[in-house]
Amino acid sequence: MAQKRILRSLHLASTAWFIVCVCYIMVLALRQAGFKWWVIFSLSGHSALVIFLLVSLYLFAFLRGVGKSQKVEIEHPLTSTYYYKTFYVITPFIGGVAGCLGMIGVSTIGQFLPGIVLGTLGTTFLVWVIVDPLTGTLETLLPASRKHRSERHAEAKALREEKQKNRERLLKEVLAQEETHWNNWQKVLKPYAEKLAGLLTNDMTNFQKAESESINIGVKAWQIGGLGCMRQLHNMALTMCKQKHQDESITDYIGAWWNGIGTWRNPSVVGSTKTL
């Protein structure tokens, strides 16, 4: 944990130094091109937000990678070590030191500072853009890395297949349970369905009595198996009505009668009553 905090601090400091060098070289280039200071300051004001956003995104990506140790040590025996990560984050400082050594003997600040800046930018570009990706690629070509990566991919594939099998098994179990419930309800609900079918085909001289009996049957269906049982009973009753009275028009009052029982909701309460 302490190593991660040290890496974060070093990388933050090195990135700040890198930004200072970039800003310096930009200002120097603009001055050499003949721009006045007030023009440079106005341009830097607009570009400061862009630089800040880019650096924030970069730091977030790096710190997340360091915090989670995304590289597998077996597959990356060099770049996953603490020493390499330290070398990586202090690259701008190493470049600055190299620039200082290259400017030994230079007496003027105007020549000394650009040397340090160019050493920083050149070394950082070389390590971050060329050396590090190339090193990571070469690591993956090692026999041990290739073997471990193949095993890791095979394990991940096996895990995905196992999860898929578990989902399919669970789905089969649910379907089997539903089928079992359906078959059991089919036997239990048959007399209730016949009673409901008879209520629908009566002349409705005593509508309130038919509604009361239908509500009692709906409550029993809800107690037996909830909404699914009520739907099955409703469908069974309508099917019996169609089979016995194929040439007659029968109004489906059951949905309206049962409205409010458990979670049963009948759309025909809002609209018109359904006719078979």
Radius of gyration of the CA atoms of the chain, in A: 39
The torsion angles phi and psi of 243, rounded to 5 degrees, stand at -70, -35
* Domain spans, the chain: 2-141, 177-269
Q: Which positions ≥6 away from 102 have C-beta within 8 Å? A: 115, 119
Beta bridge partner(s), residue 275: 251
Burial 59-94 (b: 16+ CB within 10 A, else e): eeebeeebeeeebeebbbeebbeeeebeebbbbbbb
Q: Is the pLDDT of residue 2 over 60?
A: yes
CA-based angle 11:13:15, to the nearest 5?
A: 65
**How far lies 245's CA from each of 198, 231, 251, 252, 274, in Å?**
11, 21, 12, 13, 16
State pLDDT tens for residues 112-135: 888 888 888 888 888 888 888 898
Nearest to 13 by CA among 73, 81, 85, 91: 91
State pLDDT tens for residues 243-262: 877 756 777 888 888 888 88
Q: Is the pLDDT of residue 162 over 90?
A: yes
Beta bridge partner(s), residue 251: 275
The DSSP-derived string for 223-244 is HHHHHHHHHHHHHHHHHHHHHH
| The amino acid at 63 | L
State pLDDT tens for residues 183-230: 777 788 888 888 888 888 776 667 888 888 889 998 998 888 888 888
pLDDT, position 227: 87
